[in-house]
Amino acid sequence: MMAPAYEAAAKALEPHIRLIKLNSDDEQAVAARLGIRGIPTMILFHQKREIARISGAMSTGQIVSWARSHVSQGTH
């Protein structure tokens, strides 16, 4: 399960990057609108625009590295 890695990454990335969970079973319309087909899927937004997407389980370090690398690219 990815939950512990996700929680640790959320703490490491705050306050510059905020991670938010979406329960795709409870929020099927939102998941469909976002095009979520696999779980887990992480979508990175900057200024209301999607800048990166990845599916599959990741470690804390992988989540942090992935988010930071895309945010530094997406903010220019």
CATH number of the domain that 46 lies in?
A: 3.40.30.10
Q: For residue 75, is pLDDT > 70?
A: no
In terms of Cα–Cα distance, which of 73, 23, 5 is closest to 44?
Answer: 73
DSSP state of 45: E
**What sign does the CA torsion over 15, 65, 2, 49 have?**
positive
Q: Residue 72's pLDDT band (boundaries 50, 70, 90)?
A: confident
In terms of Cα–Cα distance, which of 45, 42, 24 is closest to 33?
Answer: 24
In terms of Cα–Cα distance, which of 48, 52, 66, 73 is closest to 12?
Answer: 66
Residues of the domain holding 8: 3-74
Q: What is the pTM of this model?
A: 0.86
Burial class of residue 63 in the structure, from the number of CB atoms within 10 Å of its CB (0-12 exposed, 13-18 middle, 19+ buried): buried
Average pLDDT score over residue span 45-71? 95
Give the number of domains in the chain. Answer: 1
Q: What is the pLDDT of residues 9-36, one digit of tens each?
A: 999 999 999 999 999 999 999 999 999 9
